[in-house]
Amino acid sequence: MKKNHTISMIAAIAACMVAATGCSTGMDNSGGASNTAAPAANTATAKKEKITLTMWGGVPAESGPQGVVDAWNAKNSDVQVKYERYVNDDAGNMKLDTALATEQDVDLFVNYSQTQLQRRIDAGFTQDLGTYTDYNIEEKIQGSSEWKINGKYYAMPTSKSHYFVWFNKDLLDQAGLKVPTEWTWAEMSAYADKLKSDKRYGLVQHTEPLPDPLDSVSVKYGYTKPDGSSNMDHALYGKWLETMKAMMADGRATPPYAEQITSKMPVDTVFLKGEAAMLNAGTWIFRSSNNMKDNPRTFKVAFAPVPRLTDNAAEFISRGGTGDSISINAKSKNKEAAWTFLKWYADGGMLPMVPGGRFPASKSVNQDEVMKLLLGDNAATYDQESLKRVLFNDVPKYARSLPKQVLDLRQEEYEKFFTGKQDVKGTLDSIARRHNDYIKQTKK
């Protein structure tokens, strides 16, 4: 497989460093040689040498990783773990890739996209987890197969992501509206009209998940047609465009696109202050909604699934799936110990990550314990029945995997529509034309 330019550059960096300083010795922090076997119980006749594993991830240590490490280290004196944070952006990922290429201290690392994982597989950084036979990833983690590459697991997904609609339940009750268990965008539009006021939006949403309905359509029907041409001019794309623009028309059902962008509207805060009745978001909002000091609120929050574009539930796939996929460095001197830690992490060791919005994907984790950790002292401020419905269900989910170039061209065209620069047909035609150009340019 052809290597990415980034990997070539990393390899060059590695070669330079090896020439200047020599390869890593594989010594752990205690100064001793690394142990390649999994840690065994202490005995009176054998003195175990301490192993130190280094795990790299993108979440700030104080948002859960340090709690994970502390819990493990308290019970495993022979295998200690330290956490190295890297920012999950281009510069941060380059920092991790360079550390892997130059054989710095990296035993485990978190991949936040399949594109990143593929690049690291191509560079030879990832251990094939199929070499371990004592843990069945597919049995334990529903939806894990989306991380299977070339028929193998080079990383274990450990979290589940969820997207859903947050409600100010007090406003719902005042309007005589029920919490939806399933619904359409037409019904959401009707809810927004009933819940809006001169001082309150019906719905606010982040710009990142804004086009999720388009991906739901494309995952179901394909981003391309059987002949290989773009299918991103699908009729349901047009339905979404028209629905959203109609909601923006009066400025209160949902904010006009240009207004939201230019004002850099903090939609989380707008919802938590009671200035919007609904918020289309996901689990990461719990970090803010549980922070009553900075975001005091008196209303109860209820939850509903993201609406679909058609009445037919079979045509809808929700965004979500598994993530936080952890690899073992193929050149780690402590792969067995890293594997032992990774199994523990997936099957419940990651619970300190829950308050920060990271949900364990393993079936071995108790759902009631997850709920307790997620809500903490604020449990009474949530409608827990509706929350369980959106968190613990078997609705088909997809993980967005479009290349950035395609995401960008699509956004550029629907922005023109929302700002009145082109009509629906022109928008669909332009998206498909530019997508076709991309397909031709990247075709091998």
Q: Provide the residue ranges of all domains of the chain, joining segments of one domain with +.
A: 5-159+323-365, 163-319+379-442
Beta strands at 108-111 and 51-57: parallel, antiparallel or unpaired: parallel
CA distance 302 to 300: 7
Predicted pLDDT of residue 284: 85
Radius of gyration of the chain (CA): 24
3-state secondary structure of 298: coil
User: Encoding tokens for residue 209?
Assistant: 């998940």
Q: Taking the model in full, what pTM does it have? A: 0.77
| Identical topology for domains 5-159+323-365 and 163-319+379-442 | yes
pLDDT tens-digit readout, 202-260 = 999 999 889 999 999 999 999 999 999 999 999 999 999 999 999 999 999 999 999 99
The residue count of the chain comes to 444
Q: Does position 31 have pLDDT exceeding 80, yes or no?
A: no
Predicted pLDDT of residue 228: 96
Predicted pLDDT of residue 101: 97
CATH topology of domain 163-319+379-442: D-Maltodextrin-Binding Protein; domain 2 (3.40.190)
Q: Which residue has the tokens 């941060």?
A: 92
DSSP-derived letter for residue 182 is S
CA distance 414 to 10: 37
pLDDT tens-digit readout, 85-123 = 999 988 999 999 999 999 999 999 999 988 899 999 999
The closest alpha carbon to 147, from 6, 325, 406, 335, belongs to 325
State the Cα torsion 84-88-89-90 to the nearest 10°. 60
CA distance 92 to 110: 12
268 class by beta-carbon count within 10 Å (0-12 exposed, 13-18 middle, 19+ buried)? buried
pLDDT tens-digit readout, 153-179 = 999 999 998 899 999 999 999 999 999
Average pLDDT over residues 177-188: 96
CATH topology of domain 5-159+323-365: D-Maltodextrin-Binding Protein; domain 2 (3.40.190)
Q: Does position 43 have pLDDT exceeding 90, yes or no?
A: no
CA distance 345 to 322: 15
CA distance 269 to 289: 9
